[in-house]
Amino acid sequence: MREDEVLEILRRVIDPELGVNVVDLGLIYKVEAGEDRIRVAMTATTPTCPVGPYLAGDVEAAIRLRAPRLAAVEVEMVWDPPWSPERMSAAAKEQLGW
């Protein structure tokens, strides 16, 4: 699976507080896609965000649903660099009325 395919899958994972997908929110920092494993480094809007663990679980579940034969799916929550609204896509900003 390619990185762009993983990102397309992750566009279906919606932040329940903001109603915007995690890719357009800029929460996905890095995707490493291999033949039998995928690793995602992601963040939340703040380290104390109550939906952070929920989002990480949804990211893993979305990937496994589309690629159930992968040997490993790793989702790591990272905090450096800190998330900021500048990471959002133009579509996300428009959706949020910014």
- Give the domain ranges of the chain: 3-89
Q: Looking at the predicted structure, is the pLDDT value of residue 53 above 90?
A: yes
- Ranges of beta strands (E only) in 1-98 are 28-33, 37-42, 72-77
Fold of 3-89: GMP Synthetase; Chain A, domain 3 (3.30.300)
pLDDT band at 9 (very low <50, low <70, confident <90, very high): very high
In this predicted structure, the answer to whether residue 63 has a pLDDT above a threshold of 90 is: yes
Model pLDDT, residue 35: 86
Report the pLDDT averaged over residues 21-36.
96
* Cα of 52 vs its chain's centroid, Å: 10
Average pLDDT across the chain, whole number? 95
Structure confidence at residue 72 (pLDDT): 96
